[in-house]
A and B are shown apart, each in its own frame.
Chain A
Amino acid sequence: MPRTRTPVVAGWFEGDGDGFRLLGTRCASCASVFFPREDHYCRNPACASGELEEIRLSRRGRVWSFTDSRYRPPSPYVSDPELPWQPYVLIAVELAAERIVVLGQAAPGVTVADLAVGMEAEVVPGVLHEDAATTWTTWHWRPAGVRA
């Protein structure tokens, strides 16, 4: 039986391939943008609005910083304790249009040696982990020019 593809968090991203985007919200009153999404209140202290609309965030941004995770993170991160730990890279990407920095895992195969602060990166669909019934999907950052 094929696994069901389920976002690790509902409503944070949508689309496939080149159409994949992070989803945020924008305040209908002051235009502040939020990711992860705020749906019930605007966090601008000068704004009392409770009306926020969903928006698709920019696909590309610039690397603000990066690191990696050389040791297995604790639960609720899911990993198979029977398998040797495979480090992965995390990238914080600054989106110019939204003036926001969003953290994410790098696409599989990206190493810190591939990266530099200021480099362009784009958001791509990714898989966080799989279990018997479900493929848990997420977003990944892929640095431009790195075909991992």
Chain B
Amino acid sequence: MDDVALAAGGGAGVTAEVAVLGAGMHPWGKWGRSFVEYGVVAARAALADAGLQWRDIGSVIGAGTVRGGYPGYIAGATFARALGWQGSRVASVYAACASGAQAVDAARAQILSGQADAVLVVGADAAPKGFFRPAGGDRPDDPDWLRFRVLGATNPVYFGLYARRRMAVYGDTTDDFAQVKVKNAAMGALNPRARYRSPVTAEEVAASAVVADPLRLLDICATSDGGAAVVLASMEFARRHGHPEPVRIRAVSTVTPRFPNTVLDLPDIATDSAVAVDPPGGTFRMSIAGAAYEEAGIGPEDLSLAEVYDLSTALEVQWYEDLGLCGAGEGVRLLRDGATALGGRVPVNVSGGLASFGEAVPAQAIAQVCELTWQLRGEAGGRQVAGARVGISANQGLFGHGSAVIAVR
């Protein structure tokens, strides 16, 4: 582990590191205001956390939202204008659930190439009540529109398919899935930025309404308003500004799937066919984590904690396997053993996860990095993972998007 803590980049396959100087969030909830407000609150919190002024920032990268009209598509400029035009570089990134991580990756690239010393990354969303839905209009060439028009296939439909498949292949049960909610709600109760802060019992999960068999309301994450921001900087800038030992980002994975992708992915109506080309050795989700491990020069055995995209309880169990915390089909055993709870071998979603936050799409991957930052600094209060040195975040979203970030201290 010491090599992880001490090495500052260099070596085969390992990219140089950037420092996380500040992390900030607007609490998640259903606040009914503009996403711009949430982003500004998060940005100012991250700047204050970094001990920097807005004018110290040389570049702003916004993670976009499709729900905020034009200002959402050009989120970087929207946040820069709200904070006060000051002539910085600006860029906007949209990549579904990976938007925030791609924004982090773009910031890192600017820092490592010398284009900017300190970059502000911001994502925020104001979510509708109920199911996410496609953009309006009659668009038969859009797979996201088609899955609703032809099948009525909401996001929970896909989560239900994945959960049922696990039950059939691995023998997981709905009681097992409920234990993910119980675990994450217990940790979310300790997080002042979470939307849901009450413990949940397995009986409460079982008593909630079925949304998409076998999953119930409390198995599926809500859609939320929220905002998150980080200030990233070069190691040299960090030292000059009083951060001799900052949390460092060691890897950012934003890979695409490989053809043929044989796991049914949102928003697709079918998988790729494997009739002409054999499937790759691992799934897309496995490759997301694999690319991050390779870039960081570490493996799952080095992790102190993980923040993963628990769109559903069953999907969190799937992530255990896709991150390599255990073998295929062993996720539930890891859960039952308490390995992924606070105090376990590798706590997962100590923030409370999407189960406690609900999803604010462009903010979520940034929020994961915020949690890793606070954990690695030892500032996470009652949900602190003792001695945290290495953390990974992972997510997956529509249209072949996914990401993983590895942070170390």
A binds B: yes
Of the candidates A43, A70, A138, which one forms a contact with B150 in the assembled complex, judged by CB atoms under 8 Å apart? A138
Residue of A8, A67, A78, A97 near B275 (CB, 8 A) is: A97
CB-defined interface of A39-61 with B at 8 Å, one 1/0 digit per residue? 00001111000000000000000
B164 contacts across to A, CB distance below 8 A: 65-67, 117
Interface of A is mostly: loop
**Which of B193-201, B204-212, B353-361 interfaces with chain A?**
B204-212
| Count of chain B residues with a beta carbon within 8 Å of a chain A beta carbon | 47
In the bound complex, CA of A34 to CA of B154 (Å) = 22
Question: Would A8 and B149 count as touching, CB distance under 8 A?
Answer: yes
Assembled-state Cα–Cα distance A76/B154 (Å) = 11
B207-259: which residues lie under 8 A (CB-CB) from chain A? 209-215, 258-259
Which residues in B have their C-beta under 8 angstroms from that of A105? 151-152
Given A30-B276, A118-B168, A90 and B161 contact (CB-CB distance below 8 Å): yes
Question: Chain B 151-186, CB within 8 Å of chain A: the 1/0 string?
Answer: 111100100111111001100000000000000000
B140 interface contact, C-beta 8 A: yes
Q: Which of A1-36 contact B (CB under 8 A)?
A: 8-9, 27, 30-36
Q: How far is the CA of A34 from the CA of B259 in the complex (A)?
A: 12
Once A65-B161, A68-B213, A70-B211 are accepted as A-B contacts, the answer to whether A103 and B275 lie under 8 Å apart by CB is: no
Q: What's the least CB distance linking B267 to chain A, in Å? A: 11
Q: Does B10 contact A (CB under 8 A)?
A: no
CB distance from A48 to the nearest CB of B (A): 13
Scan A110-134; emit 1 where CB is below 8 A from any B CB, else 0. 0010001110000000001000000
Contacts of A44 in B (CB 8 A): 259-260, 276-277
Residue pair B150, A33 in contact (C-beta under 8 Å): no
Report how far A102 CA is from B168 CA in the complex, Å. Answer: 18
Closest to A46 in B: B277
Closest Cβ–Cβ distance, residue A28 to chain B (whole Å): 12
Additional A-B contact list (18), CB under 8 Å, known A32-B272, A76-B145: A8-B150, A35-B269, A36-B143, A36-B270, A44-B259, A64-B165, A65-B165, A66-B164, A67-B163, A67-B212, A70-B210, A76-B138, A79-B152, A99-B274, A100-B272, A103-B153, A103-B268, A116-B168
Q: Interface on B for A, CB 8 Å cutoff? A: 130-131, 133-134, 138, 140, 143, 145-146, 148-154, 157, 160-165, 168-169, 209-215, 258-260, 262, 264, 268-277
